[in-house]
Structure formats: C-alpha cells, structure tokens
Amino acid sequence: MEFSESVTSKYPLVFPLILPLSYAAHFDIVNQYSYTVWATTVPGGGRQLNNDETWTIKVNANTTDGYVWARTGYNCDSSSHGSCETSGCNGLLQCQCYDQPPNTLAEFTLNQFQNLDFIDNSLVDGFNVPMDFSPTGGCERGIWCSADINGQWSAVLKDPGGCNNPCTVIKIDEYCSNSGSYQPTNYSIFYKGLCLDAYSYPKGDQNTKVVFNCSGGTNYKIVFCP
Ligand SMILES: *[C@@H]1O[C@H](CO)[C@@H](O)[C@H](O)[C@H]1NC(C)=O
Ligand SMILES: *[C@@H]1O[C@H](CO)[C@@H](O)[C@H](O)[C@H]1NC(C)=O
Ligand SMILES: *[C@@H]1O[C@H](CO)[C@@H](O)[C@H](O)[C@H]1NC(C)=O
C-alpha cells in the first residue's frame, strides 16, 4: 500500500494497472524466545531470528496453502545445510518443501471466498513452540496457542524438540488422516487441551471454531513464545 500511494501522485494514469500486482499482505514474524529459532515460510523461505528480532515478509494476494513455522536447534554450515531438532526442510535454511514434524503450524490462504482471508493454527503435525497468530486489525480475534512447552507431554509422543503427532509415532490408521472416519482420540484431546483454537486431528474439530477469517488485505503478526 505504501507503494501504491507513492505511485498515485506521480503516475496517475499508470496507477490502476499497477495496483493489483502491488497488493500484498505483510506478515511480521517475531521471536520472543530468549534463544534463536529459524523461522520458515512457504512461500518465502527461511531466516534466523534471534531474541526479539522481527522478520517482515510480503505475501502475494491470492496466495493459497501458505505456512509459517519455527525450527529449533538448527545449525547452518557454510553451504547453508544443517540439521534441525525440529521441522527440518532437509536441512535447508531456505525451505523448499513442507514441514517435518513436530511443529506448531500457522496456515493461511488469502483473498478467497468473498475476498476473505482464512487463517488457522494446526497441531496435527505436533507441537514445538507456542505461537500467537493475529491480524493487526480489522477482523476477528487472533489465534492463541501459548501452551507451556515444558508441560506434561504424553511420554509416547515426546520428541527432543517438542511433542510429536500420533500418526508419525504410532503409525496406525486410527491416528492418521487416511482413515475414512477419523474421530478425536485420546491424543487429539490432549492437543486440544494445549490449544483450544487449533486443529487437533486431521479431518476435524467440528465442535470448536478453528478457522478464522479476516477481510482480504489484512496484515498479520506471528509471535513465537508470545
Ligand atoms: C484474486 O484472484 C481473483 C480471481 O483470479 C481476482 O478476481 C482478484 O482480483 C484477485 N485478488 C487480488 C487482491 O489480487
Ligand atoms: C491412548 O489410547 C491407547 C490405546 O487405548 C493407549 O495405549 C495409550 O496409552 C493412550 N494414551 C494416552 C496419552 O492416554
Ligand atoms: C467469517 O467469520 C464470521 C465471524 O465469526 C462468521 O460469521 C462468518 O460466517 C465467516 N465467514 C466465512 C465465509 O466463513
């Protein structure tokens, strides 16, 4: 929007052609942990975020299947390859693929039905850091998933970087999305207890609101360890 304002005054005739291309949402990604995390965005890549650092990304209008998550315990070597405690991207800082569990996931799709944005948090792939995913104004409330990560994991799901998902660990249909009639399980109920607003199992959560909408053009803030 800053761009369109400066263009308007100088090139009033060109402006209407340029506006659709310049139309994007800004996401401020903030690390409030005392330690470093490696923020990852799809589309967009990855960046090291030290304590109190903010990374602002511009997301194109009409983006679908957008994701943001944090990686922890990542060590870059000179070729930008490294290993992560959680959510690996095959060791690449600039992520080119989706996630590797466990991770707390922010999901978004912009300018869809009625030009609305749809946002949610998902614990379907597990949980690694607490997260707050909020619009910076002008719509419904944000999504809080600020559970205590030093809390009581189920011993079965415990992972060095957090808490893994039951499908990855236990590998039976009842816990995976390929099961036709997926129902809440004792593990998804455990996740629901951590974050009421988040998806806790692959096909569901009909009983609680997990998808929030904002008008297209809204900007967002994602805070790790709010
Ligand atoms: C999103 O795509 C639709 C359909 O192609 C288009 O009409 C609309 O102008 C686009 N929205 C923005 C904000 O670019
Ligand atoms: C969940 O249920 C399974 C199967 O009954 C059981 O083996 C497991 O210990 C339970 N886990 C928790 C966290 O209650
Ligand atoms: C957007 O959110 C409002 C408020 O919760 C809700 O009433 C409305 O149905 C939602 N719209 C869509 C298209 O989901």
Average pLDDT for the chain:
78
Question: Looking at residue 108, which CATH number applies to its domain?
Answer: 2.60.110.10
Confidence of residue 13 (pLDDT cuts 50, 70, 90): very low
Domain count, the chain: 1
pTM of the model: 0.82
pLDDT band at 77 (very low <50, low <70, confident <90, very high): very low
For residue 17, how far is its CA from the centre of ligand 1 (angstroms)?
13
Give residue 174 CA to ligand 2 midpoint distance, Å.
12
Q: Which residue from 152, 153, 156 has its CB within 8 A of the most atoms of ligand 2, so it is best to mutate?
A: 156
Residues 6+ apart with CB under 8 A from 35: 51, 72
Can you give the C-alpha Rg of the chain in angstroms? 19
User: Is 16 contained in some domain?
Assistant: no
**Pairing mode, if any, of strands 143-145 and 54-60?**
unpaired
Domain span at 176 = 3-8+21-224
**CB of 149 sitting under 6 A from ligand 3:** no
